[in-house]
Amino acid sequence: MPEPDLKVRSLTKVFETAEGPVTAVNNVSIDVEEGEFFSLLGPSGCGKTTTLRMIAGLETSTRGDIVFKGKNLAGLAPAQRNLGMVFQSYALFPHLTVFDNAAYGLRIRKLKGSEVKRRVDQLLGILGLDGLASRYPTDLSGGQQQRVSIARALAYEPDMFLLDEPLANLDAKLRVQMREEIRRIQRELGILALYVTHDQEEAMSVSDRIGVFQLGHLRQVGTPEAIYRDPTSLFVADFIGKINFFPAAQLSGDGGGARIRLASGFEAVLDRTKQLSDEEKAEFGISMDGVLAVRPEHLVLQPEGEPGIPGILRRVLFLGSMTRCFVETPDALREVMVELPERLPHLQEGGSVSLGFEPRNAIWFGSGNG
């Protein structure tokens, strides 16, 4: 296996605040391969932006190493790291034209005027900004400003491409278009990209791999599909996509599977089991042995009386490509969401139903040995 391009080791950031030290990033280690598109995903305040800023050198680290292609970046100022970065606010220089913004890094690197012009023109062309070179940032639309900031970040062929919530200020439609474009350019240039976002759909759609952050910890790293199908914690399961939690008692847990029983008495045997940490158990308010987790698309609605989890159908929403139903049951932690591929004619709001699922589609998060 080749040595990863970027190695982040035990990276930690402690901020001294008036209320005492706050650990914003806690012992984070990441490996990113050459040309990989890696997303740092998590809710606000989870440490993803601070991690990115430490890699950029905009924030000093309290502990830990950042090594790029065998070179430790710790002692280097941002200017010496040869990075390209796109900021949430774009941070375009308002007193410089589009061309001068894009040429900024090239001129600092003292390239010849003709070479600067050739490279900037080429990049502006790729980004669909031809004809805007002599405009000022304030004359541009949000999407155009975004492209200029990408051009500025990539003009001098940096070693890494860092993006800090680059799409947060765009409207929904433009967001989808821009993320595709960012992904296309990144692939074309084959540059290692680190992408910070709080939007899981965005992260899933563009990334090779995702690192999910929570409270300063890196909880899980994997491809979008792996993280969705195989979350290792309740937080990740809950944050990536939608999921239903059913607290349950564990009857036996020997061999490969776990035998569990819900409050209603429904029993199931599950092959896929994960360890539930005491922290998460407390955080999600689980008083039983563990939690059964099932995605909405893996639940089916059966007539009352069939083996399954009993509940009452509260609402049916027809959403075009699918039908979303909400079922109330004392067995679940919250109202249960069910997504059905088709509208079933017999569904009656207020009627009793039974929730069924294939055990291979469910995960058991169990604490201890049961």
| 334 lies in the binding site for another protein (CB under 8 A) | no
Pairing of strands 37-41, 192-197: parallel
- CA atoms in the 13 A half-sphere facing the CB of 259: 5
**Euclidean distance between CA atoms 181 and 328, whole angstroms:** 42
| H helices present in the chain, as ranges | 48-56, 98-108, 113-126, 142-154, 172-189, 200-206, 224-229, 234-239, 278-283
Residue of the chain from 39, 51, 61, 273 that contacts another protein (CB under 8 A): 61
Shortest CB 115 distance to another protein, Å: 16
Q: Which of 267-298 are b and which e, b meaning 16 or more Cβ less than 10 Å from the residue's Cβ?
A: ebebebbbebeeebbeebebebbbbbbbbbeb
Shortest CB 330 distance to another protein, Å: 39
Residue of the chain from 28, 153, 182, 196 that contacts another protein (CB under 8 A): 153
Shortest CB 238 distance to another protein, Å: 24
| 63 lies in the binding site for another protein (CB under 8 A) | yes
Residue of the chain from 4, 43, 78, 359 that contacts another protein (CB under 8 A): 78
| 48 lies in the binding site for another protein (CB under 8 A) | no
Specify burial of residue 166 (Cβ count, 10 A radius: 0-12, 13-18, 19+). buried
Shortest CB 167 distance to another protein, Å: 16
Residue of the chain from 2, 20, 70, 94 that contacts another protein (CB under 8 A): 94
| 71 lies in the binding site for another protein (CB under 8 A) | no
Shortest CB 91 distance to another protein, Å: 4
Shortest CB 111 distance to another protein, Å: 11
The residue range among 91-99, 117-125, 219-227, 279-287 that interacts with another protein, by the rule CB under 8 A, is 91-99
The residue range among 79-87, 113-121, 223-231, 269-277 that interacts with another protein, by the rule CB under 8 A, is 79-87
| C-beta of residue 354 within 8 angstroms of C-beta of residue 305 | yes
Question: What would the x/- binding string for another protein be over residues 3 to 42, using CB under 8 A?
Answer: ------------xxx----x-x------------------
Among residue numbers 274 through 293, which ones bind another protein (CB under 8 A)?
Answer: none
Q: Phi/psi at 140 (nearest 5 deg)?
A: -105, 155
Shortest CB 77 distance to another protein, Å: 7
How many Cβ atoms are within 10 Å of 300's Cβ, its own excluded? Answer: 16
The residue range among 46-54, 120-128, 182-190, 346-354 that interacts with another protein, by the rule CB under 8 A, is 46-54
The DSSP call for residue 309 is: E
**Euclidean distance between CA atoms 48 and 39, whole angstroms:** 9
- With contacts defined by CB under 8 A, how many residues of the chain interact with another protein? 44
| C-beta of residue 299 within 8 angstroms of C-beta of residue 245 | no
**Euclidean distance between CA atoms 339 and 310, whole angstroms:** 17
List all residues 6 or more positions away from 367 whose beta carbon is below 8 Å from its beta carbon: 275, 276, 277, 278, 281, 286, 289, 290
Residue of the chain from 3, 89, 242, 267 that contacts another protein (CB under 8 A): 89
Shortest CB 87 distance to another protein, Å: 5
**Euclidean distance between CA atoms 24 and 354, whole angstroms:** 44
Shortest CB 60 distance to another protein, Å: 5
Residue of the chain from 37, 68, 104, 213 that contacts another protein (CB under 8 A): 104
Q: Which amino acid is at 115?
A: E
Among residue numbers 109 through 128, which ones bind another protein (CB under 8 A)?
Answer: 109
**Euclidean distance between CA atoms 30 and 225, whole angstroms:** 19
| 60 lies in the binding site for another protein (CB under 8 A) | yes
For binding to another protein (CB under 8 A), which residues are involved? 15-17, 22, 24, 45, 49-50, 53, 56-63, 74-85, 87, 89, 91, 93-95, 104-105, 108-109, 149, 152-153, 156, 162
